[in-house]
Amino acid sequence: MTERLATGPGAIYWHVANKGELLAAATDAVVAAALAVEPAESPDSPPQDRIRAVALGLFDAIDEHPWVAAQLSASSWQATAPRILESIGRQVRALGVPEGSWFTVTSVLVQYILGAAGQNAANARALAPGADRGEYLGAVSRAWAELDPDDYSFTRTVADQMREHDDRAEFLAGITLVLAGITAVHPTGRIDS
C-alpha cells in the first residue's frame, strides 16, 4: 500500500499505532462495504432478502479478502462485530422474532455466516497457487468414492454431489435453512423464498 501512495513504510503509522490497528481499520472498511449491499429486488425487500444480501456481501468480501476471516476471529468483538450484529439484528427484529430471542437468533445467523465464509476462504487458501478447483474437487470426490463402504456409506453416496457443488449456492442454502428454522421456532416471522 505504501508503494502505491509513494510514501515510506513508516508513514502509515502516522495515522495508526501498529499493524493490529491497521488490520482492524482495513477489516472494518471491508465489512462496512459488504454490509452496504442491498438486495437485488429493492431497498424495501423483506428482512429475509436483506439477510441474504448481507450474508452474501460478507461471504463475497471474505472470499475476496481471506485475511478478513482471521482478523474477525482474532479481534471481532471490538469495532467490527457490532456492525455485523446490528445489520443482522435489525432484520431479525423485522422478522417478528420475540425480543427475548433476538441475541440468540442473531448470534446463530452471524456465526453461520462468518463460520461458513471463513471456512470457504480457508479451503480456497488450501489450494496450491494456480491449482484448478474442479480438478481438486474431482480428486477429493474420487477419494471419497473409494472409502470403505461400511464406515463411510453416506460420504460415498454424496461424493459426486461434492464434486459438482457451488460454494456460494451451498452457503445460500444454509441461510435458507437457518431462516426456515427461525420461522419454525418463531412462526410470527414469515420467510419468503
Q: pLDDT of 54-72, one tens digit each?
A: 999 999 999 988 888 888 8
Closest alpha carbon to 182 in 126, 113, 98: 98
What is the total count of domains within the chain? 1
Q: Is residue 75 part of a domain?
A: yes
Q: Is residue 29 part of a domain?
A: yes
Coil vs helix vs strand at 125 = helix
Q: What backbone torsions phi and psi does residue 70 show, to the nearest 5 degrees?
A: -65, -40
Q: Is residue 30 part of a domain?
A: yes
Distance of alpha carbon 95 from alpha carbon 8, whole angstroms: 50
Range of the domain at 29: 11-185
Query: Largest alpha-carbon pair distance within the chain?
Result: 62
Q: What is the pLDDT of residue 112?
A: 95
Asked if 172 and 52 touch (Cβ cutoff 8 Å), the reply is yes
Q: What is the pLDDT of residue 58?
A: 93
Q: What is the pLDDT of residue 45?
A: 82
In sequence order, which ranges of 12-46 are alpha helices (DSSP H)?
19-35
The CATH number of whichever domain residue 83 belongs to comes to 1.10.357.10
Distance of alpha carbon 181 from alpha carbon 110, whole angstroms: 15
Q: Which residues contact 12 (CB under 8 A, 6 or more apart)?
A: 1, 2, 5, 22
Q: Is residue 83 part of a domain?
A: yes
Q: What is the pTM of this model?
A: 0.80
Asked if 50 and 104 touch (Cβ cutoff 8 Å), the reply is no
- Asked if the model's pLDDT at residue 193 lies above 50, the reply is no
What tens digit of pLDDT does each residue of 111-140 get? 999 999 999 888 877 777 788 888 888 999
Q: Is residue 49 part of a domain?
A: yes
Q: Is residue 82 part of a domain?
A: yes
